[in-house]
């Protein structure tokens, strides 16, 4: 209202200038002008009044609406207060319910844990009971065999006694004939009397000998009967609940009666033989015996083809035979172990499972343990619950780092399994496992096919002639292709593969497999985790494919068996048993590689894999005897068969530091047996070791054993000096087996402890870890005093440093990774090395002249002795070689090890008094440093072989980055919508490459790499490396 009044007042007092202008324009009278102005003002005020009234009405309406809203808001506020109250009450109620449910959940969880523990205990009890039952059955079988042998032995001895009794009877008849002839004769010549007297004396001796022999036989029969009785008692004690009886009471009584009759007969024969004429009668008869009797006697004896004296001479071989057999038996008794092997040797399978990383080795091993009853649940790798991946680092990273050992049973066969790592950095674990195995399951991914580490594993298996079977895993994955993997193996590995199962469906539709041996389809029930298996007819859409591959299978098995070749050519039917037999023969001889398929994660195809392991992979007795050499004479080859009666022979293939029992040494027994607490000879180091305990390992779980036998894999506690590759054997029968060779480390880092206490702990940690892992090397730089750790790759060293910090509680700092360079030469050079020193007493003198020349990459070091005329005595030659080897450890160029050279020693000189081993070592070392620098020295660096799988849109980024890292592109393949790049690049340029690949491909590319070899460093880069090395030394 106030604004309206001001506006009206303002209209009355308008501007004088405007008024004057209007007056001039209108030229009206002032009254008219004033009146018009007032009218206009009034009209304007009326309009404004109307506008103000409208605004007032609007304000009033807004005010009323606001009042209504305020009322509604008040109502809403009340309702909200009610709702809040209700919600508070609900929250309190929910809290009470949650607390109750929480308590119930905790109780249920505790109950579940308790039940799981009870289940585990029950399961372990069942496993032990099954084991005990197996042992009892095996012991029953063994005792039955022993009884059979004893029966045969008794029968043999009875036959021998019968033969001897018959001979005695003949001798008795001969004596009686002589008696009769003596009675009939009237006189005999003195010479004849002497001859007959000698004959009688011989006969008496013979009878005495035969009597003793019979008594010995009787004693032997008694002993055998007693042994038999003991065996029966032991059988009865061991086989409680087992209804088998080796011999009935009736048969025992009959045997006793027969033995009593035989003894009675022998006593009568002995009495009959012992009747001889008295001396007086003998002389009287001899005096009266005529000459004709002598002639007749000679004629009779000649008819038998032997002289009388010879006929009556005691037969030494017959007498000594039982004594020899008795001695042999005593030796056998000494060699027999106190307990018997769980299973016969032909039922043992020592296998490994190996593959590229992430192909599914450990997943398959976990399924094997589940289906064989070794574990009651399946442990998954991605959950960190896999039993075989027991280390903390393995659980965190989801990869296998160290090989793990376990044992299970399938089809009454004992399977000793070693699960190996797949990462290239841990290839040494695969190497030592394959050295002691009889067969290997190589796992390939159905998507990626043959990868870099797969090729390495295959070559390692070929090196040790290990029979192989293949399992194509991950058939349920997108992009899975079984037939492409088969083709890959033929092309990349030149493997004689033969499919024995085919997939039914693939990717999400993978349902089961077709068994090409039995020509049946096998489907696996998912609800029972694959335990329930249904065998059906082959689906119609797969019949033609199955027939084709079945014919290929028949063709390949026929090629390794002559009988089957004839059958195949004649188009005769080949049975399932014949196929299995030929496949086994071809697999053991490495002429065939059976291929199966399935999905470990989806629990399909594992049972068929287990069947294949037991059917086709060899037992220890299927392979040739292990060969070694005499420690005293390396040219003398010694062979040991896989048998209990052979001397004990084993190879240590792994050392592990256990927090509970200390040093654990894993070993494979090739022959004989070993008892806990006994002594063995470490033939490699020529030291006796006492094995305190023998443990059967299941990953990191331990089970005590009293004895271990040929074909077994176990661990021992109590070894002090034994390391990987050492031979353990019977001290009385020493032998050295071929050791395990490991690759040299290619990456190094420095490590520095934070405190003096950490220094002591670090030394202990390093000592244990280097003993465990032969590819983990440690040295101290003599100039900088830094501790340098060397390994097979970044991951290898990362794991080792992590273990040093976690397991041994060492606080330490590490430096950046460094490449393990090598030094070599490009040309030949000759020179000499001389060391002369006089100190007043006996001096030192050594003088060598030699030539140095380059070798091909990877040939290492060769030393040739061409000394003639004794210019250097033969006793000093090993010292010269040692001097060269010591000098090669720190190359003259920049301190890296020297490799791929040949040194020929052809001249020199010595002093009769002053020369010594040390002098010649120093002379060789001095000369080497000078001559090496004349032979065009160069640096070598490790090269890695890479395989990168990337989507096509990132290919140019990957290739460009590789070229920038001095890489060489070897090949680019296409696999679906993926590109596979094969390349080589120097290790020095590949540090941090994982992050680079992830960044270049937005995380969609993957790669793997493995050591390829050493190649020359380009000159410009070599100069930088040498300068950097010199700078480090100067610091």
**Comma-separated ranges of CATH 3.30.70.870 domains in the chain:** 747-754+764-809
Give 675's strand partners: 707
Question: If we measure between CA atoms, which residue out of 761, 707, 802 comes closest to residue 341?
Answer: 707
Position 270 scores a pLDDT of 40
Instruction: State the angle between helix axes of 190-238 and 249-274 in degrees (0 to 180), rounded to the nearest 10.
Output: 170
Position 385 scores a pLDDT of 58
**Comma-separated ranges of CATH 3.30.230.10 domains in the chain:** 823-935
Position 7 scores a pLDDT of 47
- Pick the more confident residue, 609 or 14: 609
665, two tokens: 């040494």
The model's pLDDT over 72-85, given as tens digits with 9 standing for 90+, comes to: 888 888 888 888 88
Position 12 scores a pLDDT of 44
pLDDT at residue 146 tops 80: no
Q: What is the Cα–Cα distance from 270 to 171, expressed in whole angstroms?
A: 11
The model's pLDDT over 994-1013, given as tens digits with 9 standing for 90+, comes to: 788 888 888 778 777 778 88
SS (H, E, C) 527-562: CCCCCCEEEECCCHHHHHHHHHHHHHHHHHHHCCCH
Average pLDDT over residues 10-30: 52
pLDDT band of 265, cuts 50, 70, 90: very low
Position 393 scores a pLDDT of 63
Average pLDDT over residues 899-924: 93
695, two tokens: 């443990």
CA atoms within 13 A on the CB side of 847: 11
**Comma-separated ranges of CATH 3.40.50.300 domains in the chain:** 349-621
**Comma-separated ranges of CATH 2.40.30.10 domains in the chain:** 626-737
Element (H, E) at 218: helix 190-238
The model's pLDDT over 714-746, given as tens digits with 9 standing for 90+, comes to: 999 999 899 999 999 999 999 999 988 887 787
- Pick the more confident residue, 318 or 214: 214
Position 678 scores a pLDDT of 92
Position 304 scores a pLDDT of 37
- Pick the more confident residue, 242 or 461: 461
Average pLDDT over residues 633-660: 90
Element (H, E) at 582: helix 576-588
The model's pLDDT over 510-533, given as tens digits with 9 standing for 90+, comes to: 999 999 999 999 999 888 888 888
Position 217 scores a pLDDT of 79
Position 190 scores a pLDDT of 65
Position 295 scores a pLDDT of 40
Average pLDDT over residues 904-929: 93
Position 990 scores a pLDDT of 86
Three-state secondary structure call for residue 568: helix
Instruction: State the angle between helix axes of 427-436 and 452-463 in degrees (0 to 180), rounded to the nearest 10.
Output: 30
Q: What is the Cα–Cα distance from 628 to 634, expressed in whole angstroms?
A: 9
Three-state secondary structure call for residue 151: helix
pLDDT at residue 3 tops 80: no
Position 399 scores a pLDDT of 65
The model's pLDDT over 759-801, given as tens digits with 9 standing for 90+, comes to: 888 988 888 888 888 888 888 876 667 788 888 878 888 888 8
pLDDT at residue 202 tops 70: yes
The model's pLDDT over 367-400, given as tens digits with 9 standing for 90+, comes to: 898 888 887 667 565 555 556 655 666 556 656 6
Whole-angstrom CA distances from 1005 to 378, 568, 955 are 31, 48, 9
Answer yes or no: CATH 3.40.50.300 is held by domain 349-621.
yes
Question: If we measure between CA atoms, which residue out of 800, 803, 784 comes closest to residue 792?
Answer: 800
Position 274 scores a pLDDT of 38
Q: Which of 19-33, 44-58, 444-458, 1014-1028 has the least mean pLDDT?
A: 19-33
Position 1002 scores a pLDDT of 81
Position 245 scores a pLDDT of 40
**185 and 289 in contact (C-beta within 8 Å)?**
yes
Position 521 scores a pLDDT of 94
Question: Into which CATH architecture does domain 823-935 fall?
Answer: 2-Layer Sandwich (3.30)
Question: If we measure between CA atoms, which residue out of 332, 316, 325 comes closest to residue 220?
Answer: 325
DSSP one-letter code for 906: E
Q: Which residues of 266-301 are buried (b: 16+ CB within 10 A; e: fewer)?
A: beebbeebeeebeeeebeebbeebbeebbeebeeeb
The model's pLDDT over 676-721, given as tens digits with 9 standing for 90+, comes to: 999 999 999 999 999 989 998 887 788 888 899 999 999 999 998 9
Residue whose entry in the numeric block shows the structure tokens 């070749």 = 565
Fold designation for 747-754+764-809? Alpha-Beta Plaits (3.30.70)
Q: Which of 262-271, 479-488, 852-861, 878-887 has the least mean pLDDT?
A: 262-271
The dotted CATH code for 626-737 is: 2.40.30.10
Percentage of the chain with pLDDT > 90?
Answer: 33
Average pLDDT over residues 599-628: 93
The model's pLDDT over 212-233, given as tens digits with 9 standing for 90+, comes to: 788 887 777 877 877 777 777 6
pLDDT at residue 896 tops 80: yes
Whole-angstrom CA distances from 486 to 164, 166, 501, 545 are 70, 72, 12, 15
Indicate the burial class of 727 (C-beta count within 10 angstroms; 0-12, 13-18, 19 or more). Answer: buried
C-alpha angle 40-46-49 in degrees, rounded to nearest 5: 140
Position 82 scores a pLDDT of 85
pTM for the complete prediction? 0.61
Q: What is the Cα–Cα distance from 933 to 936, expressed in whole angstroms?
A: 6
pLDDT band of 276, cuts 50, 70, 90: very low
pLDDT band of 824, cuts 50, 70, 90: very high
Give 747's strand partners: 791, 819
Average pLDDT across the chain, whole number: 81
Q: What is the Cα–Cα distance from 472 to 449, expressed in whole angstroms?
A: 8
pLDDT at residue 1035 tops 70: no
| Alpha-carbon dihedral 102, 104, 106, 109, rounded to 10 degrees | -130
**884 and 846 in contact (C-beta within 8 Å)?**
no
Q: What is the Cα–Cα distance from 658 to 662, expressed in whole angstroms?
A: 5
- Pick the more confident residue, 1027 or 236: 1027
The model's pLDDT over 443-473, given as tens digits with 9 standing for 90+, comes to: 999 988 888 778 888 988 988 899 999 999 9
pLDDT band of 412, cuts 50, 70, 90: confident
pLDDT at residue 283 tops 80: no
Answer yes or no: CATH 3.40.640.10 is held by domain 940-1034.
no
**Comma-separated ranges of CATH 3.30.70.240 domains in the chain:** 940-1034
947, two tokens: 């395989």
pLDDT at residue 359 tops 90: no
Position 887 scores a pLDDT of 94
- Pick the more confident residue, 146 or 909: 909
pLDDT at residue 609 tops 50: yes
**984 and 968 in contact (C-beta within 8 Å)?**
yes
Average pLDDT over residues 884-898: 92
Report which listed range, 786-790, 868-872, 922-926, is most confident.
922-926
Question: If we measure between CA atoms, which residue out of 713, 663, 672 comes closest to residue 690?
Answer: 663
Give 698's strand partners: 701
């Amino acid at each position: 209202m106030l604004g309206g009044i001001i506006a009206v007042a303002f209209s009355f007092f308008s501007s004088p200038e405007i008024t004057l202008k209007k007056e001039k324009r209108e030229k009206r009278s002032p009254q008219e002008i004033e009146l018009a102005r007032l009218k206009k003002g009034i009209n304007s005020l009326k309009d404004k009044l109307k506008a103000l009234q409208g605004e007032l009405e609007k304000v009033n309406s807004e005010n009323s609406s606001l009042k209504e809203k305020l009322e509604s808001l008040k109502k809403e506020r009340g309702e909200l207060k009610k709702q809040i109250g209700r919600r508070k009450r609900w929250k309190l109620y929910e809290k009470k319910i949650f607390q109750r449910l929480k308590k119930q959940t905790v109780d249920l969880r505790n109950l579940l844990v308790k039940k799981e523990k009870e289940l585990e205990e029950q399961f372990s009890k069942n496993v032990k009971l099954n084991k005990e039952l197996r042992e009892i059955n095996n012991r029953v079988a063994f005792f039955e065999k022993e009884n059979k042998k004893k029966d045969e032995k008794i029968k043999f001895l009875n036959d021998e006694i019968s033969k001897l009794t018959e001979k005695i009877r003949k001798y008795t008849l001969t004596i009686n004939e002589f008696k009769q002839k003596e009675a009939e004769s009237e006189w005999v010549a003195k010479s004849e009397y002497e001859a007959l007297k000698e004959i009688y004396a011989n006969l008496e001796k013979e009878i005495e000998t035969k009597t003793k022999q019979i008594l010995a036989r009787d004693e032997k029969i008694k002993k055998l009967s007693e042994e038999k009785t003991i065996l029966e008692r032991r059988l009865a004690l061991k086989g409680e609940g087992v209804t088998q009886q080796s011999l009935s009471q009736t048969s025992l009584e009959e045997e006793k009666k027969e033995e009593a009759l035989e003894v009675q007969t022998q006593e009568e024969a002995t009495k009959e033989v012992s009747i001889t004429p008295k001396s007086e009668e003998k002389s009287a008869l001899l005096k009266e015996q005529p000459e004709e009797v002598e002639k007749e006697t000679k004629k009779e004896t000649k008819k038998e083809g032997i002289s009388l004296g010879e006929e009556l001479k005691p037969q030494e071989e017959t007498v000594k035979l039982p004594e020899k057999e008795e001695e042999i038996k005593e030796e056998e008794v000494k060699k027999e172990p106190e307990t018997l092997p769980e299973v016969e040797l032909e039922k043992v399978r020592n296998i490994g499972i190996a593959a590229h990383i992430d192909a599914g080795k450990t997943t398959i091993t976990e399924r094997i343990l589940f289906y064989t009853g070794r574990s009651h649940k399946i442990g998954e790798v991605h959950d960190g619950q896999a039993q075989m991946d027991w280390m903390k680092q393995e659980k965190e990273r989801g990869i296998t780092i160290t090989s793990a050992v376990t044992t299970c049973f399938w089809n009454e066969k004992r399977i000793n399994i070693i699960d190996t790592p797949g990462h290239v950095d841990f290839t040494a674990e695969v190497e030592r496992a394959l050295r002691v195995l009889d067969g290997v399951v190589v796992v390939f991914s159905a998507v990626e096919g043959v990868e870099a580490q797969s090729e390495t594993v295959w070559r390692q298996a070929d090196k040790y002639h290990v029979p192989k079977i293949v399992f194509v895993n991950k058939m349920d994955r997108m992009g899975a292709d079984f037939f492409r993997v088969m083709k890959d193996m033929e092309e990349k590995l030149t493997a004689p593969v033969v499919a024995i199962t085919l997939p039914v469906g693939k990717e999400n539709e993978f349902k089961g497999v077709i068994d090409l041996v039995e020509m049946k389809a096998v489907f696996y029930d998912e609800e029972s985790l694959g335990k329930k298996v249904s065998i059906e007819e082959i689906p119609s859409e797969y019949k033609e494919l199955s027939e084709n591959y079945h014919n290929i299978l028949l063709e390949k098995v026929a090629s390794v068996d002559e009988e089957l070749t004839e059958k195949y050519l004649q188009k005769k039917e080949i049975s399932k048993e014949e196929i299995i037999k030929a496949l086994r023969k071809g697999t053991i001889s490495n002429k065939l590689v059976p291929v199966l398929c399935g999905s470990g994660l989806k629990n399909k195809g594992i049972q068929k894999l287990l069947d294949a392991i037991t059917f086709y992979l060899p037992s220890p007795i299927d392979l040739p005897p292990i060969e070694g050499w005499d420690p005293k004479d390396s040219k003398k080859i010694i062979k040991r068969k896989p048998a209990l009666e052979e001397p004990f022979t084993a190879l240590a293939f792994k050392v592990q530091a256990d927090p509970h029992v200390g040093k654990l040494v894993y070993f494979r027994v090739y022959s004989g047996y070993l008892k806990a607490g006994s002594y063995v000879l470490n033939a490699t180091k020529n030291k006796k070791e006492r094995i305190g305990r023998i443990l059967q390992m299941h990953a990191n779980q331990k089970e005590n054993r009293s004895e271990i036998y040929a074909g077994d894999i176990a661990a021992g506690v109590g070894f002090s000096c034994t390391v990987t590759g050492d031979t353990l054997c019977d001290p009385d029968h020493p032998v050295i087996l071929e050791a395990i060779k490991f690759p040299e480390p290619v990456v190094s880092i420095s490590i520095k402890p934070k405190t003096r206490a950490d220094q002591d702990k670090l030394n202990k940690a390093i000592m244990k870890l280097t003993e465990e892992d032969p590819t983990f090397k440690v040295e101290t730089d003599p100039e900088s005093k830094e501790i340098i750790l060397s390994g097979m790759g970044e991951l290898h060293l990362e794991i080792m440093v992590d273990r040093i910090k976690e397991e041994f509680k060492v606080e330490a700092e590490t430096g950046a990774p460094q490449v393990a360079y090598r030094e070599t030469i490009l040309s030949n050079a000759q020179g000499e090395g001389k060391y002369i020193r006089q100190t007043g007493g006996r001096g030192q003198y050594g003088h060598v002249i030699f030539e140095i020349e380059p070798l091909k990459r990877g040939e290492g070091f060769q030393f040739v002795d061409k000394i003639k005329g004794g210019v250097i005595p033969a006793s000093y030659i090993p010292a010269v070689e040692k001097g060269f080897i010591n000098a090669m450890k720190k190359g003259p160029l920049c301190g890296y090890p020297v490799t791929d050279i040949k040194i020929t020693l052809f001249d020199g000189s010595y002093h009769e008094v002053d020369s010594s081993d040390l002098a010649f070592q120093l002379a060789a070392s001095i000369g080497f440093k000078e001559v090496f620098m004349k032979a065009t020295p160069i640096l070598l660096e490790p090269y890695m072989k890479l395989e990168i799988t990337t989507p096509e849109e990132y290919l140019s980024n990957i290739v460009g980055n590789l070229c920038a890292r001095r890489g060489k592109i070897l090949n680019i393949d296409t696999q679906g919508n993926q590109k596979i790049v094969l390349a080589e690049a120097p290790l020095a340029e590949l540090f941090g490459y994982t992050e680079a690949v992830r960044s270049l491909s937005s995380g969609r590319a993957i790669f793997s790499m493995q050591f390829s070899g050493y190649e020359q460093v380009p000159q410009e880069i070599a100069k930088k490396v040498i300068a950097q090395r010199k700078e480090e030394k100067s610091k």
